[in-house]
Every structure is written in C-alpha cells, then in structure tokens.
Structure 1
Amino acid sequence: MRAIWKGAVLAQSNDTKVIENNHYFPPGSIDLKYFKTSNTHTHCPWKGEASYYTIEVNGQTNKDAAWYYPETSHAAKPIEGYVAFWKGVEISE
C-alpha cells in the first residue's frame, strides 16, 4: 500500500493494519521529510488520544493530514505508533 499526496509517496508498506476503513502504516514506512509535528490532538473512546502531522510537499501544506496514536488503549495495541491519512491523501496498492 502507498499513501500519496501531490505526487509524493508519503508512506509505503506491505504491512498496513486496516481499522475503520483506514490503512495504518508502520512508523518505519513513512518518509519523515514530508511530516511536521502538529499541536492538534483528538480523543477516540476506544483507541485513545491521537496526535497529528501536517504534510508538506513542494511548498504545499496539508494541515493535520496524518494521525497516529503514540499510546493506545489495550484494544488498539496493533496500531500503536502506526500512521493513517485523510484530507486528500490517496491510499492505493
């Protein structure tokens, strides 16, 4: 699977985890040069507190387009630290 935005491959892995129709990519599969830490946080009742990344590609910014759970609840341990995408990031094989 690949996560692509504005022609840049943000992440690529054969080992994504699919939860609630979102592909979560292993932390080692993301290309960190496109990721900037965001101060945004949200809470999911069963996964825990999510942190976000803003994506930057060729001077274009996609605020909070990626999220991850640094520490999950017991039920969501398989995706702890994994990164998922939205806001126009294309996920494809």
Structure 2
Amino acid sequence: MRARIGDTVYAEAPESDLIRIEGNWYFPPASVDFSLLQESPTPYTCPWKGECQYYSVHEGDQTLADRAWAYPTPYPTGIERVGRDFSGYLAFWKEVEVA
C-alpha cells in the first residue's frame, strides 16, 4: 500500500505490515519517507491511544499542516486494545491517498 499525493509517495509497505485503527491505515516507521514530513507543534492526546505527534506533509512548494500523525509511545492498554504494538506507526489524512 502507498500513502501519496500525485507522484509523491510518503510511505509504502505491504498491507500485511500496516495496522488498521479506527478506519485509518498506520504505516510502520521504516516505510515512511520522513524527509517529506515536518514535525508539527499541534498538541493532542487520545484518551485510549496516548500522546500524538502530528506531522505536516510537503507537496511541491505547499505544506499541508497536520496531515500525518503517530503515537510514539502509546498507552499499554491501547496496544492491548489494538492487539499489536503501533508505536511510531504513521497514519495520513485528507489529501494523502492511501491505497
């Protein structure tokens, strides 16, 4: 599967390596091109997953704020709920097509 906008690929991995949580595909960190992302200061803590790290994605000369996110150290109960450790896995939103 790929996370992309047009020809720009932000992450690519076999579907079997991804984790689906609440309708979003989470890519393993090793499959993500972090050179195309920028850490965002936007704060958020999910009540069951833990503290979130947002990323903005770069598309050409445009920066799309908070279009990716990860849980670097999810709550142990969140990992238990998902059934797999999703530490650092990234999901994408809005303009980023995942297929």
TM-score after normalising by structure 2? 0.87
1:27 alignment counterpart: 29
Residue number in structure 2 paired with 1:53:
55
Which blocks of at least 5 consecutive residues in structure 1 are unaligned?
none
Q: How much does 1:76 deviate? A: 2.9
Q: Give the distance between the partners of 2:34 and 2:87, measured in 1 at CA.
A: 17
The residue number in structure 2 matching 1:66 is: 68
Structure 2: which amino acid aligns with 1:85? F
- Look up the SS of the partner of 1:76 in the other structure: helix
Structure with more of its chain in strand, by fraction: 1
Q: Distance in 1 between matches of 2:5 and 2:44?
A: 23
The separation in 1 between residues aligned to 2:49 and 2:32, in whole angstroms, is 21
For the aligned residues, what is the CA RMSD? 1.0
Per the TM alignment, residue 29 of structure 1 is displaced from its structure 2 partner at its CA by 0.4
Task: Give the gaps of 5 or more residues in structure 2.
Answer: 80-84
2:82 corresponds in structure 1 to none
Give the letter aligned to residue 81 of structure 1: G
Counterparts of 1:76 and 1:91, CA distance in 2: 23
User: Matched residue pairs, number?
Assistant: 92
Q: Distance in 1 between matches of 2:87 and 2:51?
A: 11
Q: Which runs of 4+ in 1 moved over 2 A?
A: none
Alignment TM-score, normalising by the size of structure 1: 0.92
1:5-24 superposed Cα distances (whole Å, 9 cap, x missing partner): 24201000111100111000
